[in-house]
Amino acid sequence: MAKTIKQIADELGVSKTSVRKKIDNLGLRSSLQSSGNQFSINEEQEKLIKAAFKSSKSQTEPKTKSETESKTVSSLISILQEELARKDAQIENLQKLLDQEQQLHMHTKQQLQLLEQKEDIVEEPEPTKKKWWQFFS
């Protein structure tokens, strides 16, 4: 049973224009039967047209998948780069905090040493000075 370009386009889910272009690319335009404004497409021609659409879809799918994978990979890379930058900032901040803590510890240690020195000085009894009359007692 012969079909029209519109019927085939509806079956394939494409526009009539794309079906006409496939017909022209396959060189089927001259072999189509026309009845008024419509072209009749026989079963053999229909199979050729459908096969042409299937082959073009299978060729574009891997490109689409690879493009999708490429976009996914690049978005993952950008996310990981942002995360890495945040981690670098955290490490830098922690390094600063560690340096500050070490300086504070050193300062505290110095103060303790000074206090210990002062205590040593206070603990040493000063020799008592005897008055001249205490020598004879």
Cβ contacts of 33 within 8 Å, gap of 6 or more: 2, 39, 40, 42
Confidence band (pLDDT; 50, 70, 90) for 83?
very high
Range with the largest mean pLDDT of 3-12, 49-58, 114-123? 3-12
User: How does the average pLDDT of the chain come out, rounded?
Assistant: 82
- Per residue in 74-87, is it b (16+ CB within 10 Å) or e — as a string? eeeeeeeeeeeeee
User: What percent of the chain has a predicted confidence (pLDDT) above 90?
Assistant: 28
Asked if residue 53 lies in contact with residue 12, where contact means CB atoms within 8 angstroms, the answer is yes
- Per residue in 24-34, is it b (16+ CB within 10 Å) or e — as a string? eeeebeeeeee
Identify which has the larger pLDDT, 65 or 14: 14
Element (H, E) at 126: none
Confidence band (pLDDT; 50, 70, 90) for 104?
very high
The residue-averaged pLDDT of 87-100 equals 97
Render pLDDT for 49-75 as a digit per residue (tens, 0 to 9).
888 888 776 555 556 677 778 888 888
